[in-house]
Structure 1
């Protein structure tokens, strides 16, 4: 058998456990050949492989018993929206977070940020052959790593309109069980701000900016019907009392001609039944926010809003 001889077909070509290779009859010298790399003890990667998080998750949870991928790594795998800076840092460092039950001890191995926690069986899920902490447990972990708005966006994503990952009740249960974890005060503060039905993290960010400006909180993704009961539209955010719809337009709305046309038709339908439509983009949520806030404030005043209750 030469160094160039292929490995058994049932081993993952990009990476595998050393124990799996031995069980398949692969000799030790073959595992030390120049075509394989050792990212951490007990693991092998094919040279030139750019391992993704799922591969690393399968390998590390396979080589270490009774553990689960956690923190930022778990959030990316679910996936939950994270600030680009957090995503970039996680990718560039090439580290994955792994949590073990508190009584077992923290993992200490190359490529891993180890944690200990009182995980229960319901706090760990198995997805695509690897274990990771539940969305609720992951969200509480993120409270020690993210700011308020980013934590709201992650929580809103868990309660999304399509394929929600969790519920407020389930998140609350984990918050109650982890009174001393880092970031728990922020988690408690943010939990009442989470809303069902949010379609994007930018919508969450827009809602937080509106609240911070002292303006009334808009409703999330509620359908609008005309006087005859016919469906008209489901804006991202809205003030039904004042007949004002707020739409966040992502990049695909601008670059997709068909989507752009649908957006125009949608807004025309709303205006046709007496609604005001205000549109926001990345620019309006950034340096353009002061002007956007003023525009929204004026629209509310024109429709009868008299300011916050004293």
Structure 2
């Protein structure tokens, strides 16, 4: 009898746990200091991702997480921006040749790079139309590797498409000789500048959420226009400051919680010990949750009835059977 009831209970719970749930999100403060990249890896492995903070609800969650730990300081959140890169193979820039007061576009803008006849670099709005340099792979000489395109003036992204269609990509400068060659090509044509493959993507959220700039809250004077790799830390009020991504700091993770309410009935011919039943049910429910996701973290909360008890006895009435009529 007991074994039969146990089997029925397992089937009943398995059906309930696949339905009727609500998903909740919260922020969790991890006070073990890590670099931004280490914190991102931790959050993605243990929770969901680093915290995205760009709404009033997000700010409330961050404050709650900080207050729960009496935490008054700054901690990493999931906001970061990349350094300047080359369009070709998304390579990082190793030896920048910025002109005076360059780059000067706002830190929150997409920006593209050009080279001038003196070999100095500048940033411009990517929609500007200009001539450009393309490159080919596996060429022995610089004259064969780079091609100046003067037949058409295009935006940076259209120039990128053109080069990738007809050549390999927009030109990437990997050493001083290549930089000098491109500058001399412009100088020999009495031209000032041209697009090449340099570009910058502005700030992004770690979970790839779209950035709502009107909702992003920076401290005064932030973000500055320094060009090294930068990540964002936030105080308990969700005001952000740029910092070097290699700085070890506490961090906020975003955690998804699924809350499910389960009601069940236990049939027994004898009285049941409430504590024993609770332990058995918790063990079985944890087993079911574990089978659904090996990395899930779960907890069970029992709802106490007004009379102080968890389980309520149901009264059943025996319905007399009606005899069949004999025709």
TM-score, structure 2 as length reference: 0.25
TM-score (norm. length: structure 1): 0.26
Bigger strand fraction: 2
Whose helix fraction is larger, Structure 1's or Structure 2's?
1
Q: Report which of the two structures shows the higher radius of gyration computed on alpha carbons.
A: 2
